Chain A
Amino acid sequence: MGDVTHSMTLDASEQGFATTRVDALLGWARKYSLFSYPFVTACCGMEFMALTSPRFDVARFGAEAPRFSPRQADLLWVVGTISQRQGPVLKRIYEQMMEPKWVFAFGTCASSGGFYDNYTTVPGIDKIIPVDVYIPGCPPRPEGVLDGLMLLQDKIARNERRPGVVKPRFDPAHSADNLVHLRRSARDPRDLVPELKKEEAEAERIANGGTS
């Protein structure tokens, strides 16, 4: 136990109550009690399993309780590719959820269709339903998903409905100067490694019949 370096007196708490705005209190209460509806369709589901299991432990953020009825859920995880054939199903699930409700686009396919730029796939679930947080990655790392979850909690706390995107922690496009470019040297490699010259002379001697 460390020493107490400073203390703070809350005047109201001595009387047994604190004041706040009702929407702020509601947002604070909602953001730690998200009931999830996992709509898992593809390989991103493996990362979703990692996220919900003890190593990454989404329970730390109060979002671990899955509800397999959309009526009881308020956070829709769209995890994986949505084919055109699944579009009506996804829309219906979303419509069955109670307000307030939030949607995660988990992974590149749910966010934009990914590389399935063809007849099979919905090019991003935001073409069908509103999305609150986009989590890029193919699949996203669980840390990225947790970043997205915290982003959503911020949004809920501030009653913010504009969509957000999880940023990469390291942006290769801004770090091009630090990249190492490998080029073939203009110098003769035999000048650098003398053994090559010896071996070449030996090979030539054998090719000429082993004489001299």
Chain B
Amino acid sequence: MSQAVLDKLKERFGTAILETSSSFGDETAVVEPSQWKSVCTFLREDPALDFDMPVDLCAVDYPNRAPRLEVVMHLYSVPLRHRIRLKARVGDEDANGAELDSVTAIWPGMNWLERETWDMSGVRFRGHPDLRRILMYPEFEGHPLQRTYPADRTQPLVAYRTEGEAGMPLGKLEPFGPDEGMPFGRDALPRSEES
């Protein structure tokens, strides 16, 4: 459907478009990371492309690949009704040095999406006006959607109560135990003494 977009990209950028593919009407172009911003500028400003809507931005972690993180961007053109998916592969095998140019100047709506990608996956966007965490808190260490983040690691902001402070075990209760963790029953109510 938007094969014309891919053709135009390849004609304009040549070898900076590393791969193209299309399946089920979704056209994808893998872009050389250094050309990320110029490709985006071209997609926004060329009147035959006119991608005016930034749909989504995220990153995928492939732990066994050499550029480990793959940034995925979806764009849509409201007037021309076509869409495209752009990808860029960044970072070494430890996901260090994952950097990409910010496209906030082209689509202001990419601001929070780039912050989310930084927060969750650890891709740094050069030239972003305000690259802070957006979902997690500033005290949080690491990037939780990287595959190397331990699945059971939590970073509480409030110190948990100890069992001594609580005066009771704080582990998860056994399901369907005989008392369901309840040390008394409603039948144990002291009866009034009128009888």
Contact = CB atoms under 8 A, between A and B. Distances in A.
A204 to B, nearest CB: 41
A124 B172 contact: yes
B168 A162 contact: yes
B152 A117 contact: yes
A126 B158 CA distance: 12
Main secondary structure of the interface of B (DSSP, over half): loop
A123 B154 CA distance: 10
Contacts of A160: 184
A87 B182 contact: no
Contacts of B189: 154, 157-158
A172 B136 CA distance: 39
B180 interface: yes
A63 B161 CA distance: 29
CB-CB nearest 3 A-B residue pairs: A87-B158, A127-B160, A165-B180
10 contacts: A87-B158, A112-B173, A118-B151, A119-B153, A119-B155, A124-B170, A154-B186, A154-B189, A163-B182, A174-B176
Given A122-B156, A158-B189, 17 more contacts: A84-B156, A85-B137, A87-B158, A91-B158, A123-B172, A127-B160, A128-B161, A129-B161, A154-B186, A154-B189, A162-B184, A163-B181, A164-B181, A165-B180, A167-B180, A167-B182, A168-B180
Interface of B: 136-137, 144, 149, 151-158, 160-161, 166, 168, 170, 172-173, 175-176, 180-184, 186, 189-190, 194
